[in-house]
Amino acid sequence: MTRKRTLTYLLFGIIALGAAGVLASRSFSAGETTVSALAGETHFHGLAVDPRDPDRLYLATHHGLFLVGPAGTAQPISETRDDFMGFTPHPADPNVLYASGHPPGGGNLGFIVSRDGGKSWSKLADGVGGPVDFHQMDVSKHDPKVIYGVYGGLQRSADGGRSWTMIGPAPEGLIDLAAGRLRDRLYAATRQGLLRSSDGGRRWEPAHMSRRPVTMVYATNDGRIYAYVVGIGLIHAEEPGLDWKVRGGGIGGSYVLHLAVAPTDKRRLYAVAFNPTDRSQSLLVSTDGGESWSALGGE
């Protein structure tokens, strides 16, 4: 087996383990802590910048939602310790957050919403075949009432998550999903490369010439698309042309699993990185658009 294939199998085997919560099996302290301590206690499933303060982050974990400060402190803000396997903010309303996953006692949460910045949550819908457990989900930047989630196939809501319809099968080997600024535009990070759809997920085509595994894809409100390609690094382009450029060649031996960009400063990026060698995760920040990275809080 070649080294490239070995790394690919290792990467996605560990992603699957993380999705099942294996890295969150240690004892968990629910009080204020640091990101580095939190990384050893739970698994990071999602990331978003607080649009009211670009130095503050929402960090969705296996044990609830945390607010992370610039010094690397992490404060729990959700009233429950639900496992937020899927997490995405509303692109226009800073108080509204969406999630899906599992309650502490088991089962599925369905599609849930917070209207107070992540403190309290309520179910909006079970979804098709639910209660759903969306691991991949995002809100359209063209129309925030349109939301996509993956459970038993690609599902779509046109009324802000209250009702759902099944669009069809999700792309094979799907890892991550992003909804762009253009109408019905979706992007899929898969084991076989980066894909795009211009009809809301009914048909897919390559979005990048590389057929290497892609560990994440992220779309900003103003039409910038980011993806992390194994062996290449972080790439980005702007809709609609998608003239891809590489932003740095990588983060050591780690892969980017989640990304967030400050809405007021496109050069400030945050990333959840995962190292498959020692199975460690970290929260990083870049102030030069992804060319260089450092641990949040200097830890």
What are 151-172's pLDDT values in tens digits?
Answer: 999 999 999 999 999 999 999 9
Tell me what pLDDT residue 29 has.
56
pLDDT band at 179 (very low <50, low <70, confident <90, very high): very high
102 class by beta-carbon count within 10 Å (0-12 exposed, 13-18 middle, 19+ buried): middle
Cis omega (within 30 of 0) on the bond before 131? yes
Q: What pLDDT shows up at residue 91? A: 93
Beta bridge partners of 269: 261, 286
Structure tokens at 149: 């989630």
**pLDDT of amino acid 143:** 96
Position 28 scores a pLDDT of: 52
CA–CA separation, 14 and 23 (whole Å): 10
Structure tokens at 289: 């658009």
Q: In the predicted model, what is the mean pLDDT of the chain? A: 88
Residue 297 has pLDDT above 90, yes or no: no
Does residue 102 register a pLDDT over 90? yes
In angstroms, the CA 208 to CA 6 distance is 23
Q: What is the pLDDT of residue 68?
A: 94
Q: What distance in Å separates the CA atoms of residue 148 and residue 202, rounded to the nearest whole number?
A: 12
Q: Phi first, then psi: give them for residue 16, nearest 5 degrees.
A: -65, -40
For residues 181 and 154, give the distance between their C-alpha atoms in angstroms, rounded to a whole number. Answer: 19
User: How far is residue 36's CA from residue 64's CA, in Å, rounded to a whole number?
Assistant: 16
What gap in Å lies between CA 188 and CA 174, rounded to an integer?
7
Out of 21-30, 94-103, 123-132, 236-245, pick the least confident. Answer: 21-30
Give the pLDDT score at 30.
62
β pairing state of 233-238 and 57-61: unpaired
Q: What pLDDT score does 280 carry?
A: 86
Structure confidence by residue, pLDDT tens digits, 68-95:
998 889 999 988 889 999 999 999 999 9
Q: Which of 11-20, 97-106, 107-116, 275-284 has the lowest mean pLDDT?
A: 11-20
What is the reported pLDDT for 247?
A: 86
Rg over alpha carbons for the chain, rounded to the nearest Å, is 17
The letter for the amino acid at 114 is S
Q: Please tell me what DSSP assigns to residue 298.
A: G
For the segment 215-251, what is each residue's pLDDT rounded down to a tens digit? 999 999 999 999 999 989 999 999 998 999 998 766 8
Strand order through the sheet with 174-179: 174-179, 186-190, 193-197, 205-206
